[in-house]
Structure 1
Amino acid sequence: MHLLHGQSSIGSVKFSGPAAPTAGFNDSNSQRACAAQLMKWRVSCTEMICKTRLLLFLALSILPMYVIAHSSSKCHQECGHNKTVKHRRFPFIGTSSACQIRLNCSTDGDIMVGEFPVRSIFPESILVNLEVRCNRSIKSLDHLFNTNYAPTTRNGILLKHCKSPASTCTIPTTKVNTHFESIDCGSDNYSISCYSEEHENGFLSQANVSKSHCQYLLSSISVDAFNTSSVVLDVGIVQLGWWLLGECKCHQEATCTEIQTPVAGQQGFRCKCRDGFDGDGYQAGVGCRKGEFRLPEFLNFLHLIR
């Protein structure tokens, strides 16, 4: 390439004018230094892009994991979008693995104990529907015994095809016959037995029920009072008493009741807020707070004591 007077060239770039400086560009050391600086800038820029992408990747990866971990540590009380535990004042009773007292969901979104629908939840009990069925296996009764709940002695369990006589049912036989005489189980109607027992801890024994060697679980009757002239029967309902495991962990403004559970070697407890306080009484729940003054209820109370 021929250069005219007053022109210099670096590659294809031309400088025109009087005596363009060429010494710095022709020096090989300077060219290498310039190239090294450009490479350094390029590497720095690439590292910055990589770091930005890495941080973005970590954020997108860790955030969902955090959300999932946080969600899994919470006791959920829903089955689908439309159905929730009917008594949500106990945040440790629900349908996820984080719940201390875990229920389950049916394919239709109903809240269940095993295969039995939950009717309602109270401070000491869970009421479960146990509709009449002639050919339900006695093994279904196992779902009602858990480390945190069990049928109370206020139930009469109706069984069928028992090889040995079931214990005498505390519920009067006439009342049982009145409610179940319309059941049509064919020739098996005469093999119905009513099982109940008295136990100091207030729960039925799973082992004792098994000793009856019955084949079918027909239904249940839950009663509000035994051996009295006035007995209220809940037909097709079984009452489960529930508890939390371990030593008492109640709010400072609550009283604790120790439960002798039917599970060997396991201690349980229940909490209840003192008079004048609202809440569930549990450290794992909402605790207790000073009851709000409600004028309508107070005026009604004054009217009653006049």
Structure 2
Amino acid sequence: MTRLYTLIAYICINIPFVISQQPVGCNQSCPGGKFNQVPYPFGFSSGCEIQLNCTSSGVVLINEFPVEQINSDDLIVTLPTMCGRPVNTLRNLYSKNYALTSASAILMENCTTETSNCYLPVQLPQFRSAIVNCSSVGYGNMSCYVGDVRSNMFLDYGNVTSLGCKFLLTGFVSERIGGVGPPPSMTRAVKLGWWVKGTCDDSCSDDANCTRIVSPVDGSDGYRCKCRNGFNGDGYKSSSGCLPLKGTVYHYLA
């Protein structure tokens, strides 16, 4: 009898997990690249909560920018070095579901005000030369901008563009702001925080924590789910939810 209850419990827990791996109406497959299938809430069709693009060669994109990592609370997106790229291209990294975080440092050129509040391993001109020298084709007056991760989760688009810069050179992930610290942890890339639109109410699995997000784009409500310690899954009721990790023992009455 005990074995029967154990089998029933296993089926009840795992069948919903199998069924919900691919949400109805959402294509999460991008074959041929580093992501064969992206996790919920991401996907490549109109039925997905957060829609990405998939090229014929299997590259996952946010607009024209390749996605390198998809994490439980952020994305790492490649921002290739380019001379003469309009600064308003940054707008493509802001949407109703994601935005640049304050850990993203943005390097721009032809600015009306030259500033640098980013931590760099060397002086700004040397850092620029190490990446690419756009001065040879008529660019200069470089600025580096990063937010304050201690007070704001996201990088304010208005503050970035208020420097009056014309061109977006590149970016890097900077976990330190000023003072003494390690060099930037990742160059030619930026970090995007993401969220699902809505509220925490009944959205996450019973075994998940819900983080409330206020969209920096339009001020609307958003949230993210994450399974608690001892559980595995994406944390969302509409997807895989949370399952006990292997080795976790549950007792059932016979």
Identical columns (%): 32
Whether contact under 8 Å (1:86, 1:121) holds in the other structure is no
Within 5 Å, which residues of 2 pair with 1:176-215? 177-182=125-130, 183-185=132-134, 186=136, 188=138, 190-198=140-148, 200-215=151-166
Amino acid at match of 1:206: Y
C-alpha distance in 2 between matches for 1:176 and 1:234 = 16
Q: In the alignment, does 2:102 pair up with 1:153?
A: yes
* Residue of 54, 64, 76 corresponding to 1:127: 76
Partner of 2:19: none
Partner SS, residue 132 of structure 1 = coil
Q: In the alignment, does 2:65 pair up with 1:113?
A: no
Partner of 2:222: 268
Whether contact under 8 Å (2:40, 2:234) holds in the other structure is no
Partner of 2:206: 252
1:97 Cα deviation (Å)? 1.0
* Residue of 150, 156, 168 corresponding to 1:217: 168
- Which one has the bigger helix percentage? 1
Change (3 A) 1:270 1:191: same
Amino acid at match of 2:245: G
Partner of 1:287: 241
Change (3 A) 1:194 1:154: same
Q: In the alignment, does 2:87 pair up with 1:138?
A: yes
Whether contact under 8 Å (2:96, 2:218) holds in the other structure is no
C-alpha distance in 1 between matches for 2:123 and 2:236 = 39
1:285 Cα deviation (Å)? 2.5
Partner of 2:194: 242
Within 5 Å, which residues of 2 pair with 1:165-176? 165-166=114-115, 168-172=116-120, 174=122
1:226 Cα deviation (Å)? 3.7
1:108 Cα deviation (Å)? 4.5
Within 5 Å, which residues of 2 pair with 1:42-53? none
Amino acid at match of 2:50: I
C-alpha distance in 1 between matches for 2:231 and 2:23 = 31
Change (3 A) 1:177 1:77: farther
1:91 Cα deviation (Å)? 2.3
C-alpha distance in 1 between matches for 2:168 and 2:36 = 26
Partner of 1:104: 53
Paired residues in the alignment total 221
1:282 Cα deviation (Å)? 1.4
Whether contact under 8 Å (2:42, 2:52) holds in the other structure is yes
Partner SS, residue 214 of structure 1 = coil
Change (3 A) 1:251 1:175: farther
Change (3 A) 1:111 1:206: same
Within 5 Å, which residues of 2 pair with 1:21-32? none
Whether contact under 8 Å (1:201, 1:262) holds in the other structure is no
Amino acid at match of 1:196: V
C-alpha distance in 1 between matches for 2:239 and 2:175 = 28
Amino acid at match of 2:188: G
TM-score (norm 2): 0.77
Amino acid at match of 1:238: V
Change (3 A) 1:215 1:107: farther
C-alpha distance in 2 between matches for 1:143 and 1:86 = 24
Partner of 1:83: 33
Q: Which runs of 5+ in 2 are unaligned?
A: 1-21, 249-254
Q: Which runs of 5+ in 1 are unaligned?
A: 1-70, 295-306
Change (3 A) 1:140 1:86: farther
Kindly indicate whether structure 1 or structure 2 has the higher relative contact order, using CA contacts under 8 Å at least 6 residues apart.
2
C-alpha distance in 2 between matches for 1:156 and 1:171 = 9
